[in-house]
Chain A
Amino acid sequence: MADLSSTFIGIKSPNPFWLASAPPTDKEYNVRRAYDAGWGGVVWKTLGSEGPPIVNVNGPRYGVVHGADRRVLGLNNIELITDRPLEVNLREIKQVKRDYKDRALVISLMVPCEESYWKDILKAIEDTEADGVELNFGCPHGMAERGMGSAVGQVPEYIEMVTRWVKQYSRMPCIVKLTPNVTSILPPALAANRGGADAVSLINTIKSITNVDLDAFSPFPMIDGKGSHGGYCGPAVKPIALNMVAEIARHPETRSLPISGIGGVTTWRDAAEFMALGAGNVQVCTAAMTYGFKVVQEMISGLSQYLDEKQMALSDLVGRAVPNFVEWQHLNLNYVTKAQIDQDLCISCGRCYAACEDTSHQAIAMSPDRVFTVKDEECVACNLCIDVCPVEDCITMRELPKGSTDPRTGRVVGDFADWTTHPNNPAARLAAE
């Protein structure tokens, strides 16, 4: 069994699987169950300022996108930050941390963008013995309308300012949680870095409407005939999250900034992918909300088996794929592949043919007896046939060896050459002149 113990910005946990700040971490009872189930850490559900607690809706809080057999592919929520009194949360945090010293416990915070609020809340949590704080600059619903959450995360100057306050008034490690509801994730990440953040965590949820009731003509979740946008999460958002994590991980100014990866982590494999793209650990919410806390056992055993098979330490995995995440212009245009169909595996469904014939390059031939073959002279290697084929490994890509001729273009496959030097690239021509 590989050693999964993790140290993230100085915070130790027995494994890199933390529960994200969200409904599952709202109170002592849940958090104890999570630790007992094996979670390495917990980011406590976001605390607000002292005073009258937040109010939530009393109708549905979640919308869902289902796949086959009602598999939860995406979830959105309109729940606000904790609606329990601050002193209750603080008391419970302290009790839990005392009983689970080996587990990470980070407190998520969201207060108005004024220095005194941050100073006060940081003082309030000082003696909980929590391991760190996470600044919730991410929630896109409800609190954003009040100038908090993603309203802060969308303004790099605010991120930097508040992060500075937090580092000024607290010795705790500080994670800045970023919102994906921006055109580029880099300015917010750079701002957090400038403000002195010890790490960023991302992504928070994405503004969304999961579906519309076609009888009531209202978005879901529907509250008395009306709906508000929610924050989208779960497996559906993983590709967006992976890209944002990787962009930060490869940027020269943020490449050494630790990242806690969030967004649709459902299995050990998702976690490994986040970590390979630069995340030091991962945070999970939807998978736990869908299947319960026990899912962490599969994540632990799966990541452990993978690391054993690869003979890698956990730290070897972090960032391993980052050097291979490049801009399009640096992709090798002399890497030529052709689809090939394994006739023994083919079940003759014809999906590759329909996809290619109707929507792509007419590169698959269909015989009267339903044998499907690739026309190398037409195949641009787009991969769509592989993507739609229901049989794993039935269609694969075959690389044309260097020196051979691509029957589609008639050109000989040469050495590495990318767009930066391509004759059709005006910039390349200018550089050559």
Chain B
Amino acid sequence: MASTPYAAGIVAGRLSSSDYAAHFSDHEPPLDPHEARVAADRCYFCHDAPCITACPTSIDIPLFIRQIATGTTDAAARTIFDQNIFGGICARVCPTENLCEGACVRMEAEGNPVEIGALQRFATDPMIARGDHPFTRGAATGKRIAVVGAGPAGLACAHRLAMKGHEVTVFEAREKPGGLNEYGIASYKAPGDFAQAEIDWLLQIGGITIRTGTALGRDVTLDALLSGHDAVFLGVGLSGVNALGIPGEDAAHVQNAVDFIARLRQTTDKSTLPIGRDVVVIGGGMTAVDAAVQSKLLGALNVTIVYRRGQERMSASDVEQNHALTTGVRLITNAVPVEIRADGAVAFEYTLDGDAGSQRTGQTFALPADQVFKAIGQTLTAPAGVTPEGRKLGAGHLGGKLWAGGDCAAGGEDLTVTATAEGRDAAEAIHAALTR
């Protein structure tokens, strides 16, 4: 590992081992008990609290915070898990500034919300760490349900169904369950293999069998699932990646950001991961930020996010953007890629946001690049036999025995917390349909 930050090309070991350890440790360390008490005390216990409304899973936030404040952390955890079985990972990855914390009345009062995300982590971590599962399975119903996709939507659905006493089989194409929790989240947001630990804890409910390495359409057909089960839930996510559609896109140094992020998560020794010296990330969402920040953390010297429209239109939250900027990532907005050159550099053209959308200006520039990540969105690969409604599947009940939820389904933002809510709600609907 004799590389340095200055070595050209895509190489591993740019940093010292201590740098890697520091860069990929817990990004936001948990609150200690005193910090939690102080943070909890700031909650006003609002009437019909706006934070609850802003939470896709409708967690009773004032109640769980009051339970923390009065020294009953497990009761707080139970309040959270009642609504959101992925309360642990959501506490780490939710863009709270756009959800609960953004709605906190203290934002209006002083621009400084109650630290709801950190408090949720404080409440949920101990119970998961102890392996203490708070729910028990209902009496067996004899109903069998297939869940396709072991991401947050699928597992939230499976857990709620199992609670009701149904028998659930989860079909997962990848080698591990978790979906984006396992493959799509920046490593520093959930270190210590938290996603798998959380799933192990979740599965303690019983009645859930996960068949990994089993892809719909390849290893099993939808017809077979429908005929062999009382209901089928599709939580297949968005497996396709949008293309840039420009010359040079096929070059070896151009990769999908989601693949880079997944590989990072699956690699224990980060020093073995090669990274470019000059990295260009194209996109404006959380995937772009996660790829850019982690490139920097792996030792890339120059990392630039280039987004085609104005900064205010980036879907990455302000907090995410600031995190990128303070990590040393450069941000260029209003520029679209036009060509990936033979020398690796990416040529861009400036744009102007106007009433008629983004317009090209004819003015160009180029960024040297030995590695380029595409992060311009993921797309649905619809399972055979299901007709999408536009770019996604329908939401909830698709008819007959078929339900859908999570990123693959219409409605809501593509977030772990939204997927969890949709999986949970589909489970309730399936249960209602099966026990009618």
User: For residue A70, which residues in chain B have a CB less than 8 angstroms away from its CB?
Assistant: 34
Is B105 interfacial (CB 8 A cutoff)? yes
Set A69, A349, A353, A354: member contacting B41, Cβ < 8 A: A69
Is A326 interfacial (CB 8 A cutoff)? no
Alpha-carbon distance A44/B130, docked complex (angstroms): 54
Q: A69-B38, A390-B109, A391-B109 are in contact. Are A351 and B44 (CB under 8 A)?
A: yes
User: For residue A391, which residues in chain B have a CB less than 8 angstroms away from its CB?
Assistant: 109
Set B34, B37, B47: member contacting A350, Cβ < 8 A: B47
Alpha-carbon distance A391/B109, docked complex (angstroms): 8
Q: A349-B105, A390-B109, A391-B109 are in contact. Are A370 and B41 (CB under 8 A)?
A: no
**Proximity bits, B26-49, A CB within 8 Å = 1, else 0:** 000000001001100100111111
Cβ of B108 and Cβ of A347 under 8 Å apart? yes
User: For residue A68, which residues in chain B have a CB less than 8 angstroms away from its CB?
Assistant: 37-38, 41
Alpha-carbon distance A131/B34, docked complex (angstroms): 46
Alpha-carbon distance A366/B47, docked complex (angstroms): 10
Cβ of A347 and Cβ of B106 under 8 Å apart? yes
Alpha-carbon distance A354/B41, docked complex (angstroms): 19
User: For residue B45, which residues in chain A have a CB less than 8 angstroms away from its CB?
Assistant: 351
Nearest-CB distance from B297 to chain A (Å)? 34
Nearest-CB distance from B110 to chain A (Å)? 9
Contact size range, B = 10 to 19
Is B377 interfacial (CB 8 A cutoff)? no
Is B50 interfacial (CB 8 A cutoff)? yes
Is A348 interfacial (CB 8 A cutoff)? yes
User: For residue A366, which residues in chain B have a CB less than 8 angstroms away from its CB?
Assistant: 47-48
User: For residue B105, which residues in chain A have a CB less than 8 angstroms away from its CB?
Assistant: 347-349
Q: A68-B38, A68-B41 are in contact. Are A353 and B109 (CB under 8 A)?
A: no
Alpha-carbon distance A30/B38, docked complex (angstroms): 33
Query: Nearest CB to that of A346 among chain B residues?
Result: B108
Alpha-carbon distance A353/B109, docked complex (angstroms): 18
> Which of B37, B49, B109 has most chain A Cβ within 10 Å?
B109
User: For residue A69, which residues in chain B have a CB less than 8 angstroms away from its CB?
Assistant: 37-38, 41
User: For residue A347, which residues in chain B have a CB less than 8 angstroms away from its CB?
Assistant: 105-106, 108-109
User: For residue B44, which residues in chain A have a CB less than 8 angstroms away from its CB?
Assistant: 349, 351, 390
Q: A347-B108, A348-B108 are in contact. Are A353 and B47 (CB under 8 A)?
A: yes
Query: Nearest CB to that of B109 among chain A residues?
Result: A347
Nearest-CB distance from A100 to chain B (Å)? 40
Cβ of A354 and Cβ of B108 under 8 Å apart? no
Alpha-carbon distance A350/B46, docked complex (angstroms): 6
**Proximity bits, A58-82, B CB within 8 Å = 1, else 0:** 0000000000111000000000000
Contact size range, A = 10 to 19
Q: A347-B106, A347-B109 are in contact. Are A370 and B50 (CB under 8 A)?
A: yes
Nearest-CB distance from A232 to chain B (Å)? 22
Query: Nearest CB to that of B42 among chain A residues?
Result: A68
Q: Which of B14-66 contact A (CB under 8 A)?
A: 34, 37-38, 41, 44-50
Nearest-CB distance from B342 to chain A (Å)? 57
Query: Nearest CB to that of A370 among chain B residues?
Result: B50
Nearest-CB distance from B295 to chain A (Å)? 40
Alpha-carbon distance A240/B48, docked complex (angstroms): 36
Nearest-CB distance from A352 to chain B (Å)? 9
User: For residue B48, which residues in chain A have a CB less than 8 angstroms away from its CB?
Assistant: 350, 366, 370
User: For residue B38, which residues in chain A have a CB less than 8 angstroms away from its CB?
Assistant: 68-69
Nearest-CB distance from A213 to chain B (Å)? 13
Alpha-carbon distance A390/B43, docked complex (angstroms): 10
Alpha-carbon distance A351/B109, docked complex (angstroms): 14
Alpha-carbon distance A68/B37, docked complex (angstroms): 8
Alpha-carbon distance A36/B380, docked complex (angstroms): 76
> Which of A68, A348, A366, A391 has most chain B Cβ within 10 Å?
A348
> Which of A348, A349, A350, A354 has most chain B Cβ within 10 Å?
A349
**Proximity bits, A106-118, B CB within 8 Å = 1, else 0:** 0000000000000
Alpha-carbon distance A348/B53, docked complex (angstroms): 13
Alpha-carbon distance A168/B81, docked complex (angstroms): 74
Nearest-CB distance from A1 to chain B (Å)? 34
Nearest-CB distance from B307 to chain A (Å)? 33
Q: Which of B63-92 contact A (CB under 8 A)?
A: none
User: For residue A354, which residues in chain B have a CB less than 8 angstroms away from its CB?
Assistant: 47
Alpha-carbon distance A68/B105, docked complex (angstroms): 19
Query: Nearest CB to that of B40 among chain A residues?
Result: A68
Q: Which of B234-272 contact A (CB under 8 A)?
A: none
Alpha-carbon distance A349/B48, docked complex (angstroms): 8
Cβ of A348 and Cβ of B41 under 8 Å apart? no
Q: Which of A339-359 contact B (CB under 8 A)?
A: 347-351, 353-354
Nearest-CB distance from B105 to chain A (Å)? 4
User: For residue B34, which residues in chain A have a CB less than 8 angstroms away from its CB?
Assistant: 70
Cβ of B41 and Cβ of A351 under 8 Å apart? no
Nearest-CB distance from A351 to chain B (Å)? 6
> Which of B34, B38, B46, B106 has most chain A Cβ within 10 Å?
B46
Alpha-carbon distance A69/B109, docked complex (angstroms): 20
Nearest-CB distance from B31 to chain A (Å)? 14
User: For residue B49, which residues in chain A have a CB less than 8 angstroms away from its CB?
Assistant: 350
Nearest-CB distance from B116 to chain A (Å)? 15
Query: Nearest CB to that of B107 among chain A residues?
Result: A347
Query: Nearest CB to that of B47 among chain A residues?
Result: A350
Nearest-CB distance from A211 to chain B (Å)? 12
Query: Nearest CB to that of B44 among chain A residues?
Result: A349
Nearest-CB distance from A8 to chain B (Å)? 40
User: For residue A351, which residues in chain B have a CB less than 8 angstroms away from its CB?
Assistant: 44-47
Alpha-carbon distance A366/B49, docked complex (angstroms): 13
**Proximity bits, B97-111, A CB within 8 Å = 1, else 0:** 000000001101100
Alpha-carbon distance A391/B46, docked complex (angstroms): 13
**Proximity bits, A67-109, B CB within 8 Å = 1, else 0:** 0111000000000000000000000000000000000000000
Nearest-CB distance from B101 to chain A (Å)? 14
Nearest-CB distance from B100 to chain A (Å)? 14
User: For residue B106, which residues in chain A have a CB less than 8 angstroms away from its CB?
Assistant: 347
User: For residue A348, which residues in chain B have a CB less than 8 angstroms away from its CB?
Assistant: 46, 50, 105, 108
Alpha-carbon distance A82/B422, docked complex (angstroms): 69
User: For residue A390, which residues in chain B have a CB less than 8 angstroms away from its CB?
Assistant: 44, 109
Alpha-carbon distance A258/B170, docked complex (angstroms): 82
Alpha-carbon distance A70/B41, docked complex (angstroms): 11
Nearest-CB distance from B119 to chain A (Å)? 14
Other A-B contacts than A348-B105, A350-B47, 11 sampled, CB-CB below 8 A, are: A68-B37, A69-B37, A69-B38, A349-B44, A349-B46, A349-B105, A370-B48, A370-B50, A390-B44, A390-B109, A391-B109
11 contacts between A and B (CB under 8 A): A68-B37, A68-B38, A347-B109, A348-B105, A349-B47, A349-B105, A350-B47, A351-B44, A351-B45, A351-B47, A391-B109
The 3 closest A-B pairs by CB, nearest first: A350-B47, A68-B41, A354-B47
Residues of B within 8 A of A (CB): 34, 37-38, 41, 44-50, 105-106, 108-109
